[in-house]
Amino acid sequence: MSETTSNSIKSALSERGILVLKAAQAMFLQHGYDATSLEMVIKESGGSRRTIYNEFGNKEGLFKAVILSKVEDVRLRLDDVSEDADIETTLIYVCRRFLSSILTPESLAMFRLLISKVDKLPDIGQSAYQAGPVTSVEPLAQYLESQRQKGLLSFDCADEAGRLLVGMVDNSMHIRAMIDLDYVPTEQEIDQQVTSAVKLFLSGALKR
C-alpha cells in the first residue's frame, strides 16, 4: 500500500505562499503565537507583507493556515487502499498511520500551540475540529459502509462506528502524550494498541 498526500491548504497557495507557510510554522513552534511577528516570518521565508496579506489576510489568517495545513497532513486517510483488501489488514494499516502521525513531536507541539490559543481564537479551534476529527471520520465511515453493503460488517450507523473505532484506536494515548512530556509511546506500543482496538472493533462488527 503506497502512501499519498493531499493538502487543500498548500494546493491553494503559490510557491512563495508555501515558503511563507513553512516559515510561519517554524516560527510559531519556536516562539509561540504572540511572540512571532510578521517581520520574523518575512525574514525567515524571504517573502513579503504583500504575499502574507494576499494569501493569508493577516497574522491570524496565517496561523489558521498553519494549523489547518498540519491537521490535513495528519488526518485519517483511506485514499490509497483497496475496498477489496482484507478488512482487518486495511483498518490496522490506516489506523496505525493515523495514530503515528498525531504522535510525532511536531504534531504534538502544534496541537499544544493550538490549544493555548483557542480561548483567544475560537474560530481556529472550531475549524481545526471540522478539518480533523470530523473530516477524518467521513472516509472511514464510507469504507465501513461499503463493507456493510457487501454483507461483511454489521452495525446501525457508519458514522458512529467510525467515531467509535477512532476513539478505541486513540484510547487516550494522544491526550497523555500532549500533557505528559515524559511519555513517548514506542512503535511497539502503537502497534499493540491499534491491533487490539481493530480486533476488538471487528469482534463486534464482523458479520457472523
Query: How large is the angle between the packed helices 87-102 and 187-205, nearest 10 degrees?
Result: 140
Q: What are phi and psi of 153, to 5 degrees?
A: -125, 155
Q: Encode the chain (208 residues) as per-residue pLDDT tens digits.
A: 333 345 788 889 999 999 999 999 999 999 999 999 999 999 999 989 999 999 999 999 999 999 999 998 888 888 888 878 999 999 999 999 999 999 999 999 999 999 999 999 999 999 999 988 888 899 999 999 999 999 999 999 999 999 999 999 999 999 999 999 999 999 999 999 999 999 999 999 887 6
Residue 142 lies in a domain: yes
Residue whose cell numbers read 510554522: 25
Residue 129 lies in a domain: yes
d(CA 154, CA 85): 18
Residue 53 lies in a domain: yes
Total domains in the chain come to 2
- Please choose, from the candidates 136, 135, 6, the residue with its C-alpha nearest in 3D space to the C-alpha of residue 69: 6
Residue 34 lies in a domain: yes
Domain that holds residue 126: 75-205
Same domain, 50 and 91: no
pTM: predicted TM-score of the whole model, two decimal places:
0.87
Same domain, 58 and 128: no
Residue 1 lies in a domain: no
Query: Which cell goes with 168?
Result: 478505541
Same domain, 94 and 133: yes
CATH code of 45's domain:
1.10.10.60
Same domain, 45 and 144: no
Same domain, 63 and 82: no
Residue 153 lies in a domain: yes
Same domain, 85 and 168: yes
